[in-house]
Amino acid sequence: MDIRVKICGLSEPEHVVAAAEAGAAYVGFVFFPKSPRNVEIDAARALALEVPVGVAKVALTVNADDAFLDELTRKVPLDMMQLHGGESPERVAAVRARYGLPVMKAVGIADESDLPAIDAYGAVADQLLIDAKPPRGADLPGGNGLAFDWRLVKRKYWPCPWMLAGGLTPENVAQAVQMTGARQVDVSSGVENAPGAKSAELIRAFVQAAQGDTAPVPVLK
């Protein structure tokens, strides 16, 4: 099944390699100090240089200012920006114009009242990441291991490509894909043994489950 997978929150070279070998289409690096998955810019540069050609390198930021994004894009070879905070549609458009990179905007969903925001951001972003809305007062805007009611986005069509996130695991991702019709999925905490501690085994299992593949995963040469 042609499902594109993003493994987010990577911080160790071996897990970057594991994601690429498993067949992930995207790898994500988190730049948010409150997150257990946070990486410094210099460390992210080293990780990005390990990513094989053909796998997109995504930077997740939260309400970052231009000064930070200037340094980030100058030092780290990126393919996409992921804005995961409360950035307005105008800010999304400004980041896209300033850096000349595709922008993915995360939109948190809890109930039907959150759905109109998808159209607003879909008009200015290159992609959307449809995630579970964090609980009130949560420190993290994502990566909380929470799912939302997938029926809210079942077979929906928006102005740009979208990716399903929020509480996905190797055990439930196939069901999520079947229920929603998503062609792209994102995982972070669902492939960890502890917050921020990725598992190569779980990464491989997630990609295989998302793609409906139970055969052994080939190793990149």
What positions carry a catalytic annotation? 8, 131
Alpha carbon distance 30, 221 (integer Å): 27
Alpha carbon distance 66, 162 (integer Å): 25
96-110: burial string, b at 16+ Cβ within 10 Å, e else: beebebbbbbbbbbe
131 forms beta bridges with 108
Q: Measure the N-to-C terminal CA separation of the chain; round to a whole number of Å.
A: 23
Write the CB contacts of 130 (distance below 8 Å, at least 6 apart in sequence).
107, 109, 118, 153, 162, 163, 164, 165, 166
Helix (H) or strand (E) holding 197: strand 197-198
